[in-house]
């Protein structure tokens, strides 16, 4: 047994090419490493699911070969990226990866000096486990040395020595001390092998969870932050700041009571910002919202212009339609994936249709961006402007923001009855808290007394009103 790569006296340099070339193009070396990484992930997933429903032995074997080739190609590109010395190529045109290894060896370069930045390849294990192996290893001046022992016929033994333990003998002629060192080394190597296997298993399970998360689930809406606690102790009336603080908390509680936060997409981000800074300009709100998710937004403008459905609308995944690839359809992971995608898509579609109808029934233009959503909140009176010494317009949550029922009641006569009915049905379907001062019955009554020009389809009024609670 000889020293493995992991026991090299100096570690290999990890090469991570930048994503873009100097010209701003996407770096082929970076893309190749992603391809190698993905193929490694696919291999790990196949290993995890092999035999659970299908025997994937063949697929695993073919894919493993392809994966190994891609890993080699990533390694070759790392050698080129690191600009290690290479012998001149024999032919023109882009080299194959194996020719890079040949060129490197010809120039006296050790290809193992670098490795591509693929973090999955070697899951971390407890360093003690590796140290035990190192401690048990001894150098052999000549790994191919002949055994110093003698046979029963008193001849010199012709076998080679056991390596890695500083022994002078083959496995038959080991001295008791050498035998003990060999057993120690074997035990340490077994422990390391088991640790690596455990780490790989754990890695595969983590990878599968990540895949399910990435391909099958999208955050539908940021969870709404918890509202301020209630009941509150009575505010100290003589303290102006304390009073304003209590007022803002009460306003936020009242907003939660209306049900608006649960109806509006991405309202959690606005509320989070307002909890941080209850009296703010629209730009302030955008800045705080951006700072709360720096990995998602790079500027307040970007946040303001982002779609209200960003992160909610499910991704379009290029899966062949059901029935087109029966073998794929049969795969349990694909079935789960399809179900998630379908569920997500329907949930989003329901929300999108219902919310759009609600906005239209509030006699407001369609909302596209977060800036539109904030303008909508201002328009319907959730946010009101607050007196400030400067000329900038400061907004805060209205002390008692109008419920969706109230807004529809006030504005519903301006819109088509059918639209109003759709919006009201959607409020009921969402269990929107009722307005204590305004039973849904009265709001539905607006449909019947609507001043809007009846549309050719106004006979739909009746069907809309069937959702009316008794
Ligand atoms: Zn021997």
| One domain for residues 142 and 109 | no
pLDDT digits (tens, 9 = 90+) for 157-210: 999 999 889 899 999 999 999 999 999 999 999 999 999 889 888 888 888 877
Q: With contact defined as beta carbons under 8 Å apart, do 395 and 417 qualify?
A: no
What pLDDT is recorded for position 456?
A: 45
CA of 190 to the centre of ligand 1 (A): 25
For every residue of 288-314, which 3-state class applies, written as one string?
A: HHHHHCCCCCCCHHHHHHCECCCCCCC
| One domain for residues 98 and 137 | no
CA of 122 to the centre of ligand 1 (A): 37
When divided into structural domains, the chain yields a total of: 2
Could you give the CA distance from residue 199 to residue 124 in angstroms, rounded to a whole number? 7
In a domain, 259, yes or no: no
In 348-448, beta strands by DSSP E: 383-386, 394-397
The pTM for the full model equals 0.50
CA of 136 to the centre of ligand 1 (A): 22
Return the closest-CA partner of residue 406 out of 448, 369, 359, 442: 442
CA of 4 to the centre of ligand 1 (A): 24
CA of 200 to the centre of ligand 1 (A): 38
In a domain, 315, yes or no: no
50 three-class SS = coil
What pLDDT is recorded for position 451?
A: 59
Could you give the CA distance from residue 51 to residue 58 in angstroms, rounded to a whole number? 12
- 116, 137, 171: which is the final residue of a domain? 116
CA of 150 to the centre of ligand 1 (A): 7
In a domain, 121, yes or no: no
CA of 1 to the centre of ligand 1 (A): 16
In a domain, 142, yes or no: yes
CA of 20 to the centre of ligand 1 (A): 59
Q: Is the dihedral of CA 432, 438, 440, 443 positive or negative?
A: negative
CA of 149 to the centre of ligand 1 (A): 5
CA of 25 to the centre of ligand 1 (A): 62
Range of the domain at 179: 127-216
Q: With contact defined as beta carbons under 8 Å apart, do 433 and 258 qualify?
A: yes
In a domain, 461, yes or no: no
Burial per residue of 186-222, b for 16 or more beta-carbon CB atoms within 10 angstroms, e otherwise: eebbebbeebbeebbeebbeebbeebeeebbebeebb
Give the environment of ion ligand 1: residues with CB less than 5 A: 147, 149, 157, 159, 170, 173
Q: Residue 307: beta bridge partners?
A: 369
| One domain for residues 161 and 208 | yes
- 88, 116, 144: which is the final residue of a domain? 116
CA of 5 to the centre of ligand 1 (A): 28
Could you give the CA distance from residue 64 to residue 39 in angstroms, rounded to a whole number? 8
CA of 177 to the centre of ligand 1 (A): 15
CA of 111 to the centre of ligand 1 (A): 36
CA of 156 to the centre of ligand 1 (A): 8
CA of 175 to the centre of ligand 1 (A): 10
CA of 174 to the centre of ligand 1 (A): 8
CA of 133 to the centre of ligand 1 (A): 25
In a domain, 80, yes or no: yes
| One domain for residues 135 and 96 | no
| One domain for residues 110 and 22 | yes
CA of 168 to the centre of ligand 1 (A): 9
Instruction: Tell me which H or E stretch contains 226.
Output: none
CA of 3 to the centre of ligand 1 (A): 22
Vertex 141 angle, CA 139 and 145, to 5°: 115
| One domain for residues 107 and 21 | yes
In a domain, 282, yes or no: no
Q: With contact defined as beta carbons under 8 Å apart, do 383 and 377 qualify?
A: yes
Q: With contact defined as beta carbons under 8 Å apart, do 286 and 298 qualify?
A: no
CA of 442 to the centre of ligand 1 (A): 101
CA of 224 to the centre of ligand 1 (A): 74
- 164, 184, 216: which is the final residue of a domain? 216
CA of 166 to the centre of ligand 1 (A): 14
What pLDDT is recorded for position 375?
A: 95
pLDDT digits (tens, 9 = 90+) for 3-47: 444 445 567 888 888 888 888 778 899 889 989 988 998 999 898
CA of 257 to the centre of ligand 1 (A): 86
| One domain for residues 110 and 57 | yes
CA of 173 to the centre of ligand 1 (A): 5
CA of 425 to the centre of ligand 1 (A): 89
CA of 162 to the centre of ligand 1 (A): 9
| One domain for residues 10 and 105 | yes
CA of 189 to the centre of ligand 1 (A): 23
CA of 181 to the centre of ligand 1 (A): 17
For tokens 């109230």, name the residue. 406
CA of 184 to the centre of ligand 1 (A): 20
| One domain for residues 54 and 82 | yes
CA of 98 to the centre of ligand 1 (A): 40
Report the greatest alpha carbon distance in the chain. 118
| One domain for residues 99 and 183 | no
| One domain for residues 108 and 131 | no
In a domain, 257, yes or no: no
User: In the chain, which stretches have pLDDT less than 50?
Assistant: 1-7, 216-220, 231-233, 235, 454-470
CA of 146 to the centre of ligand 1 (A): 8
Could you give the CA distance from residue 101 to residue 107 in angstroms, rounded to a whole number? 10
| One domain for residues 138 and 100 | no
For β-strands 114-116 and 13-15, DSSP reports them as parallel
């Amino acid at each position: 047994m000889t020293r493995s790569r992991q026991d090299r006296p100096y570690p290999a340099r990890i090469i991570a090419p930048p994503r873009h070339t100097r010209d701003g193009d996407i770096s082929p070396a970076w893309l190749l490493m992603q391809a190698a990484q993905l193929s490694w992930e696919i291999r790990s997933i196949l290993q995890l699911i092999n035999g659970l429903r299908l025997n994937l032995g063949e697929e695993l074997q073919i894919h493993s070969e392809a994966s190994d080739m891609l890993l080699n190609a990533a390694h070759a590109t790392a050698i080129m990226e690191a600009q290690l010395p290479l012998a001149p190529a024999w032919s023109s045109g882009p080299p194959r990866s194996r020719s890079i290894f040949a060129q490197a060896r010809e120039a006296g370069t050790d290809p193992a000096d670098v490795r591509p930045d693929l973090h999955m390849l070697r899951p971390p294990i407890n360093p003690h486990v590796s140290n035990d192996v190192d401690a048990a290893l001894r150098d052999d001046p000549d790994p191919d040395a002949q055994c110093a022992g003698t046979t029963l016929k008193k001849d010199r033994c012709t076998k080679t020595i056991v390596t890695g333990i500083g022994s002078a003998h083959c496995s038959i002629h080991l001295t008791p001390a050498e035998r003990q060192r060999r057993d120690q080394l074997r035990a340490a190597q077994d422990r390391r092998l088991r640790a690596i296997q455990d780490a790989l298993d754990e890695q595969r399970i983590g990878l599968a969870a990540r895949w399910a998360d990435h391909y099958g689930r999208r955050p539908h809406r940021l969870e709404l932050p918890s509202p301020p606690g209630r009941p509150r102790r009575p505010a100290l009336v003589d303290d102006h700041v304390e009073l304003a603080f209590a007022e803002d908390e009460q306003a936020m509680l009242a907003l939660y009571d209306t049900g608006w936060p649960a109806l509006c997409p991405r309202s959690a981000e606005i509320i989070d910002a307002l909890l941080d800074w209850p009296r703010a300009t629209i730009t302030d709100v955008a800045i705080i919202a951006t700072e709360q998710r720096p990995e998602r937004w790079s500027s307040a403008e970007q946040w303001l212009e982002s779609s209200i459905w960003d992160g909610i609308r499910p991704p379009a995944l290029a899966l062949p339609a059901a029935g087109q690839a029966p073998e794929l359809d049969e795969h349990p992971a694909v079935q789960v994936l399809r179900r998630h995608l379908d569920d997500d898509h329907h949930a989003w579609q329901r929300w999108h249709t219902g919310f759009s109808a609600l906005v239209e029934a509030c006699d407001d233009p369609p909302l596209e961006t977060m800036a539109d959503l904030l303008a909508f909140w201002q328009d319907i009176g959730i946010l009101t402007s607050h007196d400030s010494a400067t000329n900038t317009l400061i907004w805060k949550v209205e002390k008692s923001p109008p419920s969706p029922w109230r807004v529809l009641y006030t504005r519903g006569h301006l819109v088509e009855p059918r639209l109003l009915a759709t919006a009201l049905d959607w409020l009921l379907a969402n269990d929107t808290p009722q307005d204590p001062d305004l039973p849904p019955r009265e709001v539905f009554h607006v449909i019947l007394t609507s001043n809007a020009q009846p549309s050719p389809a106004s006979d739909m009024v009746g069907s809309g009103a069937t959702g009316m609670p008794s």
